Structure 1
Amino acid sequence: MMRGKSFFSFVVAVAVLFSSVGILEARAPEVVSVDMQRLMVESTPGKQAEEHLKKVQQVLQKGFEDLKKAHAKEAEAERNRIYAQGLAVLNRQMDVERQAAMRAVQDVVVEEVEKWRKKNGVLLVVSRSMVIAGDWDKADYTNAILSQVNRRKVKFADLPTVTINKDNKEEKKKGRR
């Protein structure tokens, strides 16, 4: 009985000693990778961006339908020119909206990566797509960061408005961009 007790005491003493020098601590390595694409797409902010962009697309699609109605009685060649011009403007606006939404999500992701990096004493976080070789199981911290990113909400810009200017036969957009 005494022998078992002293062995147990020895094990506890060694565990305390090793944990104080960091050998038994579960620490992140100095360099880790994260799957940025996954963080951008699967995170709550990424899904919010997707929903926001669906609403933007609906607004712009309605604007195009309004443009078609407003110019339905024009001569075919003129009508086609107006439609092509209007569609080009709406497509450019959709690109602007998409870039703004992705930038907002990326800002949140990068902010959370940096917070996690500082909190865990990590020197460098690299995108998984940039890693040539490594032990993915030990180096990938996407799930840890994803849980932090999922706690965040993103404020996107107001939805754009589409105004059809019948007199100038061109379509204009209004918005905060």
Structure 2
Amino acid sequence: MADEALKDINQFLTFTLGKEIFALDIGTVREVLELTSITKIPRTPEFMRGVINLRGHAVPVVDMRLKLGMSKGEDTVDTCIIIVEIEFDGEFTVMGALVDSVREVFEMMPDTIEPAPKMGAAINAEYIKGMGRQNEQFIIIIDINKIFSAEELAIAKELAGMGGGADHLSPQEDSVAAYA
């Protein structure tokens, strides 16, 4: 019985963009990195910050503030890159998501997650998997698989191919266990 209850718990990595708290399903997160040197690539969308070298592989990095329609922020000592694995049409793409700060791994029961609001959200409701709550703060749970279009993922795959491709990184290397 206890094992069945544990299967119903969802774990999310929480992070901030401005004053808002967001979360990603921990199953899509490979690792969290401190901000490192990002090489800008010409003729890419504004939200595409560039690529980083991750153990010999080029990994595209997206500024999540810009991708979600927020204003550009300043990089700080707390700025992090969350390495995520995105699935689209049965294929996986590894990308970095630049965020203001990473908070913690947070567990939520499915019945405590509310549907995305139909109006009034600061970001596109299609990107929102649901709304959670921690203490008195709302947490916007993002569906990372719906944020990027096929064209944007094609650009990311092309950028990743520059360094031999990040698709060959072993899952959960340097995982987020330190944040659990």
TM-score after normalising by structure 1: 0.24
**Higher RCO (C-alpha under 8 Å, 6+ residues apart):** 1
Tell me which protein shows more helix as a share of its residues.
Answer: 1
Q: Which has the higher strand share?
A: 2
* Structure label with greater radius of gyration: 1
- State the TM-score, normalizing by the size of structure 2: 0.24
